[in-house]
Amino acid sequence: MTRRDGLTPGERTLRSRMAAYVLHSRYDPRQTTAPARRAFASRFLDQVDPDRRLPEQERQRRAEAAKKAYFTNLAYLSARRRRMRGRGRTE
């Protein structure tokens, strides 16, 4: 392992954790993560209605379904990977 800034990986982890705690002590986490959450949500809106032709309520409904499909797929892939690792295979 290479040392960056003369710190071990463990020291870098502690320094990063400390910085995160300071940030969260000064600002509301919902405030600091709002732009990222908006971008993540707009991804699904763009996916289901890129031309903005649907009524807003239908766009929201479809975007919510697309988001559920996304997270369900992640869960499926995770379960499959765990099963493969349990068999001693690495896919």
- As for how many domains the chain has, the answer is 1
Q: Is residue 45 part of a domain?
A: yes
What pLDDT is stored for residue 90 in this prediction? 61
Q: Is residue 57 part of a domain?
A: yes
64: nearest Cα among 37, 34, 47, 44: 44
What pLDDT is stored for residue 46 in this prediction? 97
Rg for the chain, CA atoms, rounded: 20
What pLDDT is stored for residue 86 in this prediction? 86
| pTM for the structure as a whole | 0.68
What pLDDT is stored for residue 88 in this prediction? 79
List the structure tokens of 87. 């068999």
Altogether, the residues listed in the chain come to a count of 91
Q: Is residue 2 part of a domain?
A: no
Scored b (16 or more CB within 10 A) or e, 47-72 reads ebbeeeeeeeeebbebbeeebeeeee
Domain that holds residue 19: 9-86
Q: Is residue 74 part of a domain?
A: yes
Q: Is residue 69 part of a domain?
A: yes
Stretches where the chain sits below pLDDT 50 are none
